[in-house]
Amino acid sequence: MRILVLGAAAGGGFPQWNCNCTACRRSRSGDPAAPARSQAGFAVSRDGARWHLVNASPDLREQIARTPQLHSQDGLRGSPIRSVVLTGGDIDVIAGLLNLRERQPLTIHATASVHAILDANPVFDVLARDVVMRPELRLDEPFLLEQGLSATLFAVPGKVPLYMESGEEMQPIVVDGTTVGLLLEDGASRAFIIPGCAAMTPDLAERLRGADMVFFDGTLWHDDEMIEAGLGKKTGRRMGHMSLAGPEGTLAAFDSLEVKNKILIHMNNSNPVLLADSKERAAAEAAGWIVPEDGLEVVP
Ligand code: MLT
Ligand code: MN
Ligand code: ZN
């Protein structure tokens, strides 16, 4: 299988539209050590002709435009994009679905709770239900994306989408069908895509052990970096994301998992790992992580 990183940044992207922090400023000014990144999204294919999106960020239109593999090729109307798999209900996961209107036959693969979010928002009915299928997927049951390429959704610790939160206080971290990880298998390799994850549980660690490739939540370097930088009031934990550094961080959690290729995704504009000349980038790379730019293509 082939996996394309359409976008590597967290919700808001890098630079973020209303952010004037040093990193966003460097990115806006064209600093080669701070290349812009769009909001997280992926395209997966086994045969190179049929493609499946993983998540549909608000940047999807531009992501498709700059990715020749995803361009319309045959006939007057058509698309190599056959389906979309959703790993949650956040804006940066679902809002880009609206770019896929125009009566193109398509399948949206998601769990019942993510479909319930789409169903509750009539704006998504612009994806005409007579051509856009919305099968409900059960956790831990593999389904075929195309011949020889299977996908499995599984629950990871997460919280309710930001716009569905009930108040200012800490939202409970839950393991249900809303925040999920994706396992892709083609007979040759096992690859995981997990853009959001609030904690490494023993179950999750065992699932990931020995995988060929894992794309993992790289939202923040350390839990209170947004507070320290004066960018916001929330910790990573409060946002439902585990952080990279520290004894309970992602780098430490993966230390003994023997994952062959580790790639950070969903990086927030406050995360210094985005900057090629930061000590945090050097530390992540020393721990074996790839910090991708948009457009990276890998074969797990
Ligand atoms: C997140 O990953 O925490 C969300 O994408 C936040 C947001 O929707 O802005
Ligand atoms: Mn997000
Ligand atoms: Zn910024």
Cα 129 to averaged position of ligand 1 atoms, centre (Å): 27
Domains and CATH numbers, the chain: 2-298 (3.60.15.10)
DSSP H or E run through 223: none
Residues of the chain with pLDDT under 70: none
Which of 91, 216, 264, 269 to mutate to test ligand 1, by most ligand atoms within 8 A of the CB atom?
A: 91
The single-letter code of the amino acid at 157 is P
* Ligand 1-lining residues (CB < 6 angstroms): 10-12, 90-92, 162, 196, 239-240
Which of 18, 57, 90 to mutate to test ligand 1, by most ligand atoms within 8 A of the CB atom?
A: 90
CA dihedral 145, 50, 178, 132 (to 10 degrees): -100
Ligand that lies nearest to the alpha carbon of residue 242, given by its number in the listed order: 1
- pLDDT score, position 20: 97
CA dihedral 44, 45, 51, 55 (to 10 degrees): -10
Both structure tokens of 16? 């973020």
- pLDDT score, position 291: 98
211, 190 Cβ separation under 8 angstroms: yes
For ligand 1, atom 6, the nearest C-alpha belongs to 11
- What is the maximum alpha-carbon separation in the chain? 55
Which of 87, 217, 239 to mutate to test ligand 1, by most ligand atoms within 8 A of the CB atom?
A: 239
- pLDDT score, position 24: 98
- Report the distance separating Cα 94 and Cα 121, nearest Å: 11
- pLDDT score, position 262: 98
- pLDDT score, position 74: 84
Cα 57 to averaged position of ligand 1 atoms, centre (Å): 11
Side-chain-side CA neighbours of 113 within 13 Å: the count stands at 19
For ligand 1, atom 5, the nearest C-alpha belongs to 11
Cα 240 to averaged position of ligand 2 atoms, centre (Å): 9
- pLDDT score, position 243: 98
List residues bridging with 153 in a β-sheet: 182
DSSP H or E run through 291: none
Both structure tokens of 297? 């293509």
pTM as predicted = 0.98
108, 134 Cβ separation under 8 angstroms: yes
Name the DSSP letter for residue 275.
Answer: S
- pLDDT score, position 93: 98
